[in-house]
Chains A and B, each alone.
Chain A
Amino acid sequence: MKTGADPALFLTEKTFVARTDGVLVFLNLRHDRYSCLERRHTAPVSALLGLPAQAPGARAAPYGDDAGDTERLAACVRKVGASREGGSAARGTDAAPCLSMDRADDAGARANRESKGDELADIIDGLIAGGVATRDPGSGKRAALLAQFDELREIPGYLPREGPKVRAGHVAAFFRAYATARLLLKISTLERIAERLQRRRMRAALAPAPVNPPMKPAMKSTMALHRTPAMAPAINRAMNLVTQAQGAQAPAPAEGSATGPAAGAPGAWTAAETGGRDRVNELVEIYKILKPLLVTVKDQCLLNSLCLIEFLACYRIYPDWWFGVRLNEFYAHCWVQSGNVIFDDFIQNTSANEPIMVV
């Protein structure tokens, strides 16, 4: 039931939102599709979604003409759902950085011919029809902008040729992870993959952490999930890990600052989960050593990051999978991060993207 504090619009359960360069971008995980609004529609729709006002200094006034925006977006349009080879975060695209993109407010273009008062209504209808938004708080969720940490780090590496020893088990785990990632990207949707990762993480959160975890893939774990009343709070905590990651309510950022989940908060990385920071460093380094066997980085961030996630899962390590977007040559990117530590990318790359979703 709507309360006085509820916004007018809610996002559908599997939709996420980011605001970049003054434009709202939506990721509909169910349909595996990105869409965005024109800049002039972003402010009113943001208000309807209950999102905080544009950050100070950002341009809120409408810019550009429809034709300009349309042309730019049209240049990037490609049919979503095409081949998943390569597995770019821009699903269905090839190595080109342009992303499959739809205009979330296609109705907006038609609205030029109608009164202004109807224009916004048409946009809302379009968002609802497109499965992005809903008026029903029961079936939707409050929109929230995901914020990055104030400080980011890259996982520290090793001096040249002083890295960890790569063993046969690591190589086997790597190939298994790669095969799993390729298969998942080929036959499954991003939504299903995300759910799978979340379920696995929940199981891990419930299972007692072994002192010396056996080096076998989590998929083959013999630990069954038995739900008992004693475990209910743990399950709820695990659920919070997921839902908060999906729609983290960032406090209104101070001018020029960004906030994110603090260490120890849901989504952060604890030693209990990982078996120690050194061990994680070691495994990430081993992954980087083995990566040239099969994975390249260029424009294959989906495959690369999912492969790393699967590899680490073999050792019961479950970092977060971050997705971000930017409008400067429309681009979607993903990377692996735990707390404020980036595992497989550089700060200058990840910070160039506005976070939209964390798995």
Chain B
Amino acid sequence: MTMYRYMAFMWDAADAGPARAAAFLGDTLHQVSPHRWEQAWSGDGLAIHHSGEQKGRMQTYRLKGGRGAVLGRLFRSDYTSVVDDPGEYESRRILETGGQRLIDDYWGRYVAFLDDAPSRTRYVLRDPSGAFPCFYTRWRGVTIYFSDMQDAAAFEFLPFTVNWDYVRANIALPFFQKNITGLAEVSEVLPAEHVEIKPGWECRKNVWNPAEIAQRNVVYDAVVAEMRLRETIMATIGALAGCFDRVLINLGGLDSSIALACIVSRVNNPETTCITNFTRSLRGDERFYTRQVAGHFNVPLVEFELDARMIDLRTCRRMNKEASPHGVFDCIALTGHEFELARETSAQALFTGAGGDNVFFQAPRFLGALDYIRSHPFVAKETFLIAFEAARYGRTSIWKTLKEMARERVSREPCYEYVHNTLFGARRMPLVDPKLWSEGSYKSFLHPQLIPDHDFLKGKYHHLMGCALFPNRCYDQWDCDYTAGRVHPFFSQPIIELCLQIPTWILTYGGIDRGLARRAFREHLPHDVIMRVSKSTPQTFYDEICRCNRSFLREALLDGRLVTEDILRRDKLEAALGDDDVKLQLRSNDLLGFAATEVWAEEWPARNKSAIA
């Protein structure tokens, strides 16, 4: 079984040269790719190929009247699944609105190619969750859109070179959606981006604005917020799970437990198996909680001990090609046990709790109080209560919180700088060359919707950055067979939109981390799980991986491209990668992330060389 993927070729139909190039690409695709491709849709100047279609899961929806196709997975706003192609009326409305109808009345993970032949206009649109990729590159007048970089890289005549601006920006501003990719020749239709294309002309705009959503229909009542949160999450995750017969769920803390609760409480729920990873260190062991949850729902639980001796980092040289380095080394996936279990259980998807922290607003400090004071009187009983709760949440004193709230009212710092400092101010990266920081702000590389007005609410901006437009992998970098697709249900449009509409001080209700989510699901989960505020960490696992793979790290990093590009400091790397385990473990996360980036960067020159040969 292979995961759904697409490749679309778009060219000016009036131009013969690109037409020949497009035909050549279509023919060559079948020769160079290991997947079985079929033509999903074609029109003048647009040909879409797909592979791995599964109706009811990931598929191609063909609009009536030759108006184009929507690739991926669609649900209506009432959470019902769209399996059949849209009818005439829907197809017409989708095209007339340039795809806006998809954003407003549907959700899911999709990329739309719309064709208005009479006006010679085409539209490319990507859903706000960004769960389904849309990269593109150009060759001989043809724009090649694709979901998986591995497929584009199979065309050996297409050159791809590392974009070092991206690499720097990704170190300075990790995790967040950028408007460039790691390859100079590859761009991306960004999440929630709409591209209108006419011959010789192109216009881009954003069709989903999280900042606007956060200020519209705000849910100020905590009881209503709690109820809506529960209903929306159950409906969304239930809808996503309904596509599958058998699923795995990676069980850990509160968020994955909520996901499990939603999956199993669905009528006709899929066969569910849970897997939990643990380390020998208590820091990475949450089996006390996962056993309770699995027992509560009577689902099988597989416990897997993470052993660093199983990890040979040299295997990362065999990882699938990606348009951008992730910068975070997913060592747990490298063990391969999840894929093995997926094969054994014939699971069709691996659900995770990723994104729960983001949407439920697990942010540092007392940002909720800063948002509150912007629209409420300073001298009021409720204000003091909010301040108290925020102080508890931020693990600071009430007096400091009140002082910050007063400053927020009277003389506030600009939003972006304040939140940026909250996120990254305490970060220390001695391995990184100071020149990287002095090259100015990397703000311009962010998705345009992630740059706030000066006056935007700080807590809500922090929230927005973490949950809206958050880049997630679609295709696993280790799983060459794409056995089970990863589903991160919390990064779905309905959940993101609702959570954006809930004020941050209500999300951290009672001064408890993810307080509102805990209240919303208190009847569905064991009390210990609902009330657990600690988080496990596989840190000791990562530390051990570094220790066991020290020679690989030295080999990859000391004289690697990151050093020659003046991104990392060789002297500091040498000190960290010496024989002192303590120094090594101090920087283990950074070292693993840099190693992943280095290996990613190395493969492109090697590929280009072999292509020329």
Q: List chain A positions with a Cβ less than 8 A from chain B.
A: 21-22, 59, 63-64, 68-69, 72, 148, 151-154, 156-163, 256-258, 288-289, 291-298, 327-329, 346-348, 351-352
Contacts and interface: CB of A to CB of B under 8 A. Distances in A.
Majority SS of interface residues in chain B? helix
B350 interface: no
Contacts of A152: 282
9 contacts: A151-B282, A160-B512, A160-B518, A256-B280, A257-B280, A293-B397, A296-B396, A327-B582, A351-B281
Contacts of A258: 282
Contacts of B528: 156
Contacts of B282: 148, 151-152, 258, 347, 351
A328 B585 contact: yes
B536 A289 contact: no
Given A156-B528, A291-B392, A346 B534 contact: yes
B398 interface: yes
Interface in B388-414: 388, 391-392, 395-398, 400-401
Interface in B541-585: 578-583, 585
Contacts, number: 98
B535 A348 contact: yes
Contact of A154 (B400, B527, B530, B532): B532
B212 to A, nearest CB: 29
Contacts of B535: 346, 348
A64 B396 contact: no
A190 B357 CA distance: 39
A352 B585 CA distance: 12
A352 B582 contact: no
B228 interface: no
B586 interface: yes
Interface of B: 280-283, 288, 388, 391-392, 395-398, 400-401, 509-512, 515-516, 518-519, 522, 527-528, 530-537, 539, 578-583, 585-586
Across the A-B interface, the 8 shortest Cβ-Cβ residue pairs = A160-B510, A292-B391, A160-B515, A346-B534, A256-B280, A351-B282, A160-B509, A292-B398
A163 B512 CA distance: 11
Contacts of B388: 289, 292
Given A157-B531, A292-B401, 10 more contacts: A64-B578, A68-B580, A151-B288, A152-B282, A159-B518, A292-B397, A329-B586, A346-B535, A348-B535, A352-B539
Given A161-B510, A347-B282, A288 B392 contact: yes
Given A298-B396, A328-B582, A346-B533, A153 B511 contact: no
Given A152-B282, A160-B519, A294-B397, A348 B533 contact: no
A160 B401 CA distance: 19
A295 B395 CA distance: 9
B591 to A, nearest CB: 14
B572 to A, nearest CB: 14
Nearest to B385: A161
A289 B532 contact: no
A347 B286 CA distance: 10
Contacts of B583: 72
Contacts of A293: 397-398
A157 B393 CA distance: 13
A76 to B, nearest CB: 12
Contacts of A351: 281-283
